[in-house]
Structure 1
């Protein structure tokens, strides 16, 4: 019996024909392959430069020997249906994009959508800050300057006592504020209030994280994102590669001479025609599979190719 590895591979990768959902579990059980392995091999064969990639297991080979030779074309057709259904599913599309992003990553932080969202967030934050300033002005307007000066004097004394409990950075920053505020205590109440409110506002501005400017670093990051995203997009559509894989198989299968004669050569058989001995492994692969299954595979490949054009 000719190699079932070839049979399965042609059905799995080369033909990739239509799926009848009710048959999927049956045909996979018939050939002894799990759905996870099939999905892995489909993805691998679609992206690998050498697209005949398949590792059969002892279970698959054992199951294959039980298949009558007459059932091979039907098995190829059923496998092809399974593969096409998977490739045309949203699940495959998502897995393909995940795989592409693994090899062609990009930082979504600098996507147009995220940049627009960040801009909106910055505007909202700035509006909230402006509202706080307006509320501060309104609150201080109602305070008596003399009472305010007295309250701040007591507050500063308490804050000086608490400096030792702060870490070095906080202590430096707070000491600077206390020193500036204490200088104002000798001013007349009205002037004190005016300058102290100005000091508080300046502190608020210093602590407020303003929206980041469009710095050179930002520009470089955006340019890098666009370059990486363009590279990702170039690989995100698998259909051109799928069309090439199908056409490659059609061309290859059309070139196989299934009537080629074999002659004994030591412990194995070789082609009588020396030209066939130099054929690539894929050509010999399909020869071992046999005319009927390959014809079935080619028909499915041609139909799928027609559909995606």
Structure 2
């Protein structure tokens, strides 16, 4: 799904003219600028923990930028940075962003207070050296995953024939231990469910409908599900919880602030005096460490001190407002 956005908010007359001049100097239209910004935000949602990428504005725009007088570059960078801020902070952009993450990341705000993702809880407990908590969280995750699997399979049992029941019953008997029964009552329930699968295999020879019903009851019993209505409600609740976790993970302003701070951190490390040399027909850094730097670092190096400082000023001020 593409990030769809209609138009840049109307700027004041002076701001609109300045933006128009800056875009024209880079041979960009306003529509192209909007696509660059929205595409950059879209790509950022796939790497929230990574350093920001260097924005791609096209070869013609890059060449046009470097053809500008040195003294004009900082003004263009600042103007485009402020225009990007106006675009990104608009209510229309926020609405477009929420529509995008809903379609591409299954991220929806249901107003739920979602607990931490089980895998994250396990990692946090492991880092803290709390291995009892690791075991408890791991068991809960296995139990929840087993229940989710049962909920998703119930409808398919209506299509089981005798051969399928014969094969799947043996598999499910071994899988039922993944329900992680802890109490005596839970262990007895799982044991009974295993026995019912054996009954379903026998019933399948003469009464397939009865065998399917027994099979379904056995699976629900093993997972602690009392009815198909409860299973359907559980599946819906799990879906909403996952969507809420995705939404919380992709909250726009906190992630935007993080990206701006990451940009600032990279910009402050750029060594504009770093020497370069020609090698195999291309310009490379003399220092192998600098040659291994990110594309963003190298882009800022090429941008130079004045342009980078202009971008840095916009990013720092923007981050402070979030």
The TM-score with structure 2 as length reference comes to 0.51
Instruction: Give 1:189-228 correspondences, 5 Å limit.
Output: 215-216=229-230, 218-228=232-242
Gaps in structure 2 of 5+ consecutive residues: 1-13, 113-227
Instruction: Give 1:1-309 correspondences, 5 Å limit.
Output: 20-46=15-41, 47=44, 48-49=46-47, 51-57=52-58, 59-61=60-62, 63-64=64-65, 66-105=67-106, 215-216=229-230, 218-235=232-249, 237-308=251-322
Q: Deviations over 1:90-143 (max 9, x none)?
A: 1110110011001233799x999xxxxxxxxxxxxxxxxxxxxxxxxxxxxxxx
- List structure 1 runs of 4+ shifted beyond 6 angstroms: none
Q: How far apart in 1 are the matches of 2:90 and 2:16?
A: 12
Any conservation in 2 of the 1:31–1:63 contact (CA below 8 Å)? yes
Structure 1 or 2, whichever has the larger Rg, is: 1
Bigger relative contact order, structure 1 or 2, given CA contacts below 8 A and separation 6+? 1
Cα deviation for residue 88 of structure 1 reads: 0.7
The number of residues matched between the two structures is 189
Cα deviation for residue 277 of structure 1 reads: 2.3
Any conservation in 1 of the 2:54–2:295 contact (CA below 8 Å)? no
Any conservation in 2 of the 1:260–1:271 contact (CA below 8 Å)? yes
Gaps in structure 1 of 5+ consecutive residues: 1-18, 113-213
Cα deviation for residue 36 of structure 1 reads: 3.2
Any conservation in 1 of the 2:74–2:310 contact (CA below 8 Å)? yes
Any conservation in 1 of the 2:22–2:80 contact (CA below 8 Å)? yes
Any conservation in 1 of the 2:22–2:79 contact (CA below 8 Å)? yes
Q: How far apart in 2 are the matches of 1:252 and 1:107?
A: 32
The 1:225–1:68 alpha-carbon spacing in structure 2 relative to 1, beyond 3 Å, is same
Q: Deviations over 1:137-189 (max 9, x none)?
A: xxxxxxxxxxxxxxxxxxxxxxxxxxxxxxxxxxxxxxxxxxxxxxxxxxxxx
The 1:98–1:104 alpha-carbon spacing in structure 2 relative to 1, beyond 3 Å, is same
Q: How far apart in 2 are the matches of 1:95 and 1:62?
A: 31
Q: How far apart in 2 are the matches of 1:232 and 1:272?
A: 43
Any conservation in 1 of the 2:108–2:247 contact (CA below 8 Å)? no
Q: Secondary structure at the match of 1:269?
A: strand
Q: How far apart in 2 are the matches of 1:99 and 1:259?
A: 41
Q: Which structure carries more helix by proportion?
A: 1
Q: Secondary structure at the match of 2:53?
A: coil
Cα deviation for residue 252 of structure 1 reads: 0.8
Q: Deviations over 1:8-49 (max 9, x none)?
A: xxxxxxxxxxx9344333322222223333233323323242
Any conservation in 2 of the 1:27–1:75 contact (CA below 8 Å)? yes
For 1:155, the equivalent position in structure 2 comes to none
